[in-house]
Structures are given as structure tokens and as C-alpha cells.
Amino acid sequence: MTESTIKIDVLLDNDRIPSDISWSASDSTADQVKKAKALMLAFWDGQERTALRIDLWTKEMMLDEMADFFYQTLITMADSYQRATQQTELVNEMKNFAREFYQKFRQLQLKENKI
């Protein structure tokens, strides 16, 4: 059996807001620590039947980056659900929701920028 380690470091400012997020993985092909502006981490507690989540983002994370991050996360969650369950109909609904979410975000951005 092999062990793999993922290390996440979060630097907080005086108000305890993340100012820097970095990560590394023992099985990664990357030689250096990678920087991130945001992270979403979820664990499933089978005993309590609940998701335990950590969502962090730095002050440098822009609104359009957050929308991209959520869109891509929703799409990859749908892909993971497909691999785990083979329930294509539900996967398609998840992906449709992700696309609609992203389109609505873009429409709001255009509307706000016209004012």
C-alpha cells in the first residue's frame, strides 16, 4: 500500500482573512509548491452522513475568477458523479445548471458594466 500526502498552507492576515494559499502533493509531477487564490475541500463523514467543507479564497480572487471557479467545479463534480454512478440524466442536469449559472453571471456582469 502506498501513502500520498497533500499539504495545504494558508497564510492569514491580521483579520484572519486568507492572504496566501499554497499546496503541494507528494505524488504530484510539480517540483514546486503551487499557489492558489481559492480552494474548496469536502470530506464525507459516513457515520454522520454529512459533508464537511472548507471554502477559502484570498482577497485577490476577482468576481469573474470566482464565477469561473464555481462553473468549473460544478462541471467536474458532474463528471465525478458520472464516473461514480453512471446516472447520465442527473449528470446532464448538473451540467445544464452549471451552464445556466455561468450564463446568468455573464449577463449580470454585462448589465452592471453598462450602468
Residue 64 has pLDDT above 90, yes or no: yes
Residue 27 has pLDDT above 90, yes or no: no
With residue 92 as reference, give the H or E element that holds it: helix 88-114
Confidence of residue 30 (pLDDT cuts 50, 70, 90): confident
Can you give the pTM of this predicted structure? 0.88
Grid cell listed for 113: 458594466
Cα angle, residue 70 at apex, residues 29 and 22 outer, rounded to 5°: 40
- Give the span between the Cα atoms of 75 and 36, in whole angstroms: 19
Burial (CB < 10 A; 0-12, 13-18, 19+), residue 27, is: exposed
Average per-residue pLDDT for the chain:
94
Q: 3-state class of 77 per DSSP? A: helix
- Give the span between the Cα atoms of 110 and 8, in whole angstroms: 36
